[in-house]
Structure 1
Amino acid sequence: MASNKLIFFLVLFTISIASSASTTSSTTANKLSSFNVVKFGAKADGKTDSTGAFLKAWAAACNSLSPPRLYVPRGTYLIKRLELRGPCKSTSRTTVQIDGTLVAPSDYHQLGNSGNLLLFVKISGLSVIGGTIDARGAAYWGCTRNCPPGARSITFNSVRNLVVSGLMLINSQVSHMVISGCTNAVVSRVKIIAPDQSPNTDGIHIQTSTGVTIKDSVIRTGDDCISIGPGTKKLLIQGISCGPGHGISIGSLARDVKEEGVEDVTVKNVSFSGSDNGLRIKSWARPSNGYVRGVTYHDITMNNVKNPIIIDQRYCPEGRGCPNQSSGIKISQVTYRNIRGTSATPVAVNFQCSATNPCIGIRLQNVKLGYSNSGAKSSCVHAHGTSSGVVAPASCF
């Protein structure tokens, strides 16, 4: 019996040591997977250039075999052009957690012609969580001569399985967020703020990307809340508050003769307030092999919006390169369902389509838009479709 008891206690002791060793090893692994930019020399004073420290921390994180986390603690960090490039070695998701604020230089010339403040490239499995990016764009907006191209606040190029959550973007020089060449992206709970007269400050721009979802966010800018460029497919936009700004725009398209199309876009549960446009499709009046098809807008609220529903295929700013031409963009199968609210102008529904490529398959279902006490109007040029349910203003098809 004594011998059996001794064996029993030896077994328990061995298990306890193994468990302790495993816990210690796990804790060590977790520590090794977190890379705090401060430990690599970043200064949270908002004055010291921390770009080099961020790059060192990213290099260490991206080379980690365990799940890496780049961590930005509370405080304000000055960064210049910051390119965080993959692929990374870990087969797990790479996380960038920002508890602090990233700021651009007060002198926009220090960014040169980089075009980006923070750029992520060729990463598979990336999460960007929390934080604020203040691009200090006001000085750039006032530039009138020899201006650099302007820096986007955050850009994702060729990123797969992207998650962006809880991020705030303030006063970008140009577009606040760009998603380009990406596959499977979810952007949620972001807040984007810039003055209503700030030029070219799109909230989120998507192009050549598939499987993007943008949801539960507030966007107030001087340009499009969300702009949708060529090559965008399987896009879902929902739960967005937009305004001021230029609305949610597909386009401008037909910048190039050879251009990828836009298809399978759903916009739902979105509210527009005081914006220049609501739901807009826009193309240059010039040749292109591009197209827009399979677009559904539903359950939308408009509050004092200048152009609640608009298709504009006559876009030709300053008459450069497009006078007396027709847009080659083919627009088809676009549905507007359960659209409610008020227009700030008499024409609430305005379809100005191409003479050579008329809009076809446009559907209005339960659309009710009012204007002042006189009622709103609709206008159709080269547009063909159907209406059902209560449609006001009356369909012009």
Structure 2
Amino acid sequence: MAKSMSLHILLVLIFLILFFSSSLAIPVVTYNVISLGAKSDGRSGSTKAFLAAWAKACGSTAASTIYVPPGRYLLHNVVFQGQCRNNDITIRIDGTLVAPSDYRVIGDAGNWILFEHVNGVYIYGGILDGQGAGLWPCKRSGNNNCPSGATTLGFSNSNNILINGLTSQNSQMFHVVINGCHNVKVQGVRVSASGNSPNTDGIHVQSSSDDTILNARIGTGDDCVSVGPGTTNLWIENVVCGPGHGISIGSLGKELHEAGVQNVTVKIVTFTGTENGLRIKSWGRPSTGFARNILFQHPLMKNVDNPIVIDQNYSPDNKNCPGKSSGVKISDVTYQDIHEASATKIAVKFDCSPKYPCSGINLEDVKLIYKNQPAEASCRNADGSASGFVQPNSCLKL
């Protein structure tokens, strides 16, 4: 009888806890951009409606959702500004956001869509169409009257961000930029631009910590992923890259006083027809910068021009570089389990600084071929070791 009473009391207590928990839960408030004046025809400007939705979501003390229904929404350059009153804002996009077709409208704005000083923003789905194809020929021509172009999506000085299932296409310049942020997760994104589109990096990370890029498909005219100064604890995994310039740490050392890059893991990446595979690049000039504790693991190279490269004499178009020794110190870089085909005879190239030679460069189980023959390696000012089966024959210590 006592056991029965105890069980009854326990069940009552559980019921009361569940009841009061549900009754006290704060509901999520949803703001539909169409209800606030957005037009889904792709021609009428919807910038004010999106800003109005952000103002409501950011000003709410409750968790909030901004909903973008199917359709095409024309946006000029827009800044979504924090600090917000809550740290739980979801932006669910079932439609396409479209930049102005005339690239000059936002070409000098720096960013098309920018989030600043926000915390706890989660973007799900959607297509961002930067309509940058008109700008690319102008930039390739060397015309000084061309605008530099706008980054499609930027996060600046922000924390706890999720970008999930987003597609970015035809950006004027970089597609996604993470700058001065902490704990950003980018997963399931698709990035596409023509292979000859200039400066259209897929995802660029700089001055940021504890960020993750997972399950991405990126094809552009520049780096699929680029890692800038001040990046720490970055994890990149399961990326398909091509066309493009590969995954690059750098360029580093453009400034004399510059933060370093450390603790970067690049794992399970397939490079197809790219200019580079795994690249570290720095300018040949004095700098306080560095790159250390880098792990490249399990990439697959398919017809890649330069599968493995460290270039400390980086100078695009031979401009703005005095030709001095790079001050960037590169150390503790490991290449593990790297296979398949190089499109050039020199598959491994370490061209390091004579003043600060690369140190702790490790090759483990690397097999790269060129025209069904073992590829070759080239080393300058590089010190390290090779272990396991290594082909091309390493110019490092065996």
Instruction: Give the TM-score taking structure 1 as reference length.
Output: 0.92
Aligned counterparts of 1:181 and 1:101: Cα–Cα separation in 2: 27
Q: What SS does structure 2 have at the residue aligned with 1:38?
A: coil
Contact in 2 for aligned 1:316/1:323 (Cα 8 Å):
no
How do residues 132-171 of structure 1 correspond to structure 2 at under 5 angstroms? 132-143=127-138, 144-171=143-170
* AA in 2 matched with 1:73: P
Aligned counterparts of 1:238 and 1:311: Cα–Cα separation in 2: 21
Aligned counterparts of 1:256 and 1:318: Cα–Cα separation in 2: 18
Q: In the alignment, what sits opposite 2:327?
A: 328
Q: Identity over aligned residues, as a percent?
A: 50
Deviations 1:331-357 (A, max 9, x none): 000000101110000000000000101
Would you say 1:80 and 2:76 are equivalent positions?
yes
Contact in 2 for aligned 1:225/1:242 (Cα 8 Å):
yes
Give the one of 83, 91, 95 matched to 2:90: 95
Aligned counterparts of 1:239 and 1:318: Cα–Cα separation in 2: 32
Q: What SS does structure 1 have at the residue aligned with 2:104?
A: helix
* AA in 1 matched with 2:319: R
Q: In the alignment, what sits opposite 1:214?
A: 213
Aligned counterparts of 2:49 and 2:27: Cα–Cα separation in 1: 21
The Cα of 1:51 is off from its aligned counterpart by 0.5
Compare CA radii of gyration and give the structure with the larger one.
1
The Cα of 1:328 is off from its aligned counterpart by 0.5
Q: What SS does structure 1 have at the residue aligned with 2:55?
A: helix
Q: In the alignment, what sits opposite 1:124?
A: 119
Q: In the alignment, what sits opposite 1:240?
A: 239
Q: In the alignment, what sits opposite 2:314?
A: 315
Aligned counterparts of 1:176 and 1:135: Cα–Cα separation in 2: 8
Q: What SS does structure 2 have at the residue aligned with 1:40?
A: coil
Give the one of 49, 54, 59 matched to 1:53: 49
Q: Following TM superposition, where does structure 1 have runs of at least 4 consecutive aligned residues deviating by more than 4 angstroms?
A: none
Aligned counterparts of 1:332 and 1:141: Cα–Cα separation in 2: 37
Q: What SS does structure 2 have at the residue aligned with 1:269?
A: strand
Instruction: Give the TM-score taking structure 2 as reference length.
Output: 0.91
Aligned counterparts of 1:100 and 1:85: Cα–Cα separation in 2: 22
The Cα of 1:93 is off from its aligned counterpart by 1.4
Aligned counterparts of 2:394 and 2:133: Cα–Cα separation in 1: 43
Aligned counterparts of 1:337 and 1:201: Cα–Cα separation in 2: 29
Give the one of 33, 37, 50 matched to 1:37: 33
Contact in 2 for aligned 1:334/1:363 (Cα 8 Å):
yes
Aligned counterparts of 1:185 and 1:46: Cα–Cα separation in 2: 30
Q: What SS does structure 2 have at the residue aligned with 1:355?
A: coil
Aligned counterparts of 2:324 and 2:383: Cα–Cα separation in 1: 20
Aligned counterparts of 2:159 and 2:323: Cα–Cα separation in 1: 42
* AA in 2 matched with 1:82: V
Deviations 1:210-245 (A, max 9, x none): 000001110011100000000000000000000110
The Cα of 1:112 is off from its aligned counterpart by 4.8
Aligned counterparts of 1:188 and 1:201: Cα–Cα separation in 2: 19
Aligned counterparts of 1:321 and 1:30: Cα–Cα separation in 2: 56
Q: What SS does structure 1 have at the residue aligned with 2:52?
A: helix
Pair 1:112–1:352, CA change in 2 (3 A): closer
- Stretches of structure 2 that go unaligned for 5 or more consecutive residues are 1-14
Q: What SS does structure 1 have at the residue aligned with 2:278?
A: strand
Aligned counterparts of 1:216 and 1:306: Cα–Cα separation in 2: 24
The Cα of 1:377 is off from its aligned counterpart by 0.3
Q: In the alignment, what sits opposite 1:3?
A: none
Aligned counterparts of 1:167 and 1:321: Cα–Cα separation in 2: 36
* AA in 2 matched with 1:179: I
Aligned counterparts of 1:318 and 1:100: Cα–Cα separation in 2: 40
Aligned counterparts of 1:245 and 1:119: Cα–Cα separation in 2: 24
Deviations 1:123-157 (A, max 9, x none): 11110110000000101112234122210110000
Instruction: Give the superposed CA RMSD.
Output: 1.6
Contact in 2 for aligned 1:190/1:216 (Cα 8 Å):
yes
Contact in 1 for aligned 2:313/2:323 (Cα 8 Å):
no
Q: In the alignment, what sits opposite 2:65?
A: 69
Q: In the alignment, what sits opposite 2:173?
A: 174
Contact in 1 for aligned 2:162/2:184 (Cα 8 Å):
yes
Contact in 1 for aligned 2:329/2:358 (Cα 8 Å):
yes
Contact in 2 for aligned 1:185/1:212 (Cα 8 Å):
yes
* AA in 2 matched with 1:109: R
Equivalent pairs, count: 374
The Cα of 1:114 is off from its aligned counterpart by 1.0
The Cα of 1:322 is off from its aligned counterpart by 2.2
Q: In the alignment, what sits opposite 2:104?
A: 109
Q: In the alignment, what sits opposite 2:374?
A: 375
Aligned counterparts of 2:98 and 2:320: Cα–Cα separation in 1: 38
The Cα of 1:320 is off from its aligned counterpart by 2.6
Pair 1:281–1:112, CA change in 2 (3 A): closer
Q: In the alignment, what sits opposite 2:262?
A: 263
Deviations 1:222-276 (A, max 9, x none): 1000000000000000000001100000001111000000000000111111100
Aligned counterparts of 1:104 and 1:183: Cα–Cα separation in 2: 28
Aligned counterparts of 1:120 and 1:360: Cα–Cα separation in 2: 39
Q: Relative to structure 2, which stretch is displaced further, 205-214 or 371-380?
A: 371-380
Q: In the alignment, what sits opposite 2:11?
A: none
Aligned counterparts of 2:158 and 2:56: Cα–Cα separation in 1: 19
